Amino acid sequence: MPELPEVEHLRRSLDPVLVGARLHAVTVRRRSVIECGARDGRSLSPAQRLAEALLVDRTIVATHRRGKQMALEADNGRVLVVQLGMTGSMTIEADAPPRGMEARHRHVLWDFSPATPTGVRWRLAFRDPRRFGGLTAYPSLQALHGAWKSLGPDALTISATDLANALLRTRRPIKAALLDQALVAGVGNIYADEGLFAARIHPLCPAASIGADQITELARHLRRILGKAVAQGGSTLRDYRDAFGQPGSAVQTHLAYGREGLPCAVCKEALVGIRVVARATVFCPRCQDLSTMVGTTLSVKDGPPVRPRRRGGK
């Protein structure tokens, strides 16, 4: 599933090509992936509404991102949000169209003129085999920011203060809180495990009971790990490709995610796998010791400490 680093890497690879480019004809192969937004009283035909939503005959002036959502802003102020869901991609097709499997599931295709002197028309393709993603139109940047109010602060730039304010609102386990996009935008399963490992926080520790120093460390590590993953082009996910069809390369640097049973890179203890809100979660039982954490950070009024589920009936 594309996480924040893949989406931000995609945005950065699209930005220099699309900003200044004019979208021309659009081909919609699957209408159901597009949400045009509320009718506004103007008498537009369905085709006109669709063309307006998809920024046809408009020039892209900026790209934006919040969490895992990316947006294209046009010169008339309208905005199109791109959500990649589990298998989505936005690809520039500069040469011949793809063949075989790569050609399937391309739901929306735009012709556009890049801001280059060559005058060559390129194609932008939204592809999403499993269709958990989609395109959503907004009439203005203001309307977009209204919609993005339901998301927490962006994890790539989150401050310790913003993270503390978000986590104070919940007593759920920290891993569950980090995955809640309304609290923090853009942390998925991979980077939740990586951030907690780096900050030495047990994934089941109640979010509101984590001390200020550890919150500061967690915010710092989230920014560092996500920033590094963006630079490396995101994780190598089976379906992830950047705007030019290149896979990412960050998977080699994971220290916790996907390493259950392997030795901890810090203390050599075997990493443990549990499930938190139905998501596979890997941590080091020694470096991320819940008993010392809750012992120092939970007061009596916070209730009994959460015990980690032990494996093997120990």
* Residue in 66, 68, 78, 259 annotated catalytic: 68
Q: Between 284 and 294, whose beta carbon lies closer to Zn ion?
A: 284
Q: Between 23 and 284, whose beta carbon lies closer to Zn ion?
A: 284
Number of chain residues interacting with Zn ion (CB under 5 A): 7
Paired tokens of 34: 């597009």
Stretch that binds Zn ion, among 8-16, 88-96, 238-246, 283-291 (CB under 5 A): 283-291
287 binds Zn ion (CB under 5 A): yes
Q: Between 240 and 283, whose beta carbon lies closer to Zn ion?
A: 283
Q: Between 126 and 197, whose beta carbon lies closer to Zn ion?
A: 197
163 binds Zn ion (CB under 5 A): no
Q: Between 115 and 270, whose beta carbon lies closer to Zn ion?
A: 270
Smallest separation, CB 310 to Zn ion (Å): 17
For the question of residue 68 being annotated catalytic, the response is: yes
* 135 beta partners: 34, 82
For the question of residue 129 being annotated catalytic, the response is: no
Q: Can you tell me which of 85, 286, 289, 305 binds Zn ion, judged by CB under 5 A?
A: 286
* Residue in 3, 8, 52, 194 annotated catalytic: 3
What residues numbered 14-73 form the site for Zn ion, per CB under 5 A?
none
Smallest separation, CB 286 to Zn ion (Å): 5
Amino acid making up residue 113: S
Paired tokens of 205: 């520790």
Residue nearest to Zn ion (CB): 264
* Residue in 2, 5, 114, 173 annotated catalytic: 2
Smallest separation, CB 272 to Zn ion (Å): 10
Q: Between 231 and 265, whose beta carbon lies closer to Zn ion?
A: 265
Using alpha carbons, select from 166, 154, 183, 139 the residue that is nearest to residue 69: 154
For the question of residue 200 being annotated catalytic, the response is: no
Residue 141 neighbours by CB distance under 10 Å:
15
Smallest separation, CB 281 to Zn ion (Å): 15
For the question of residue 73 being annotated catalytic, the response is: no
* Residue in 171, 279, 286, 305 annotated catalytic: 279
Provide CB contacts within 8 A for 32, sequence distance 6+.
Answer: 131
Smallest separation, CB 50 to Zn ion (Å): 54
Residue 273 neighbours by CB distance under 10 Å:
16
Quote the radius of gyration of the chain (alpha carbons, Å).
Answer: 22
Stretch that binds Zn ion, among 180-188, 214-222, 230-238, 282-290 (CB under 5 A): 282-290
Stretch that binds Zn ion, among 15-23, 27-35, 172-180, 284-292 (CB under 5 A): 284-292
For 79, phi and psi rounded to 5 degrees? Answer: -135, 140
Contact code string over 240-279 relative to Zn ion, x by CB under 5 A: ------------------------x-xx-x----------
Residues classed as catalytic: 2-3, 68, 279
- Residues forming contacts to Zn ion in the complex (CB under 5 A) are 264, 266-267, 269, 284, 286-287
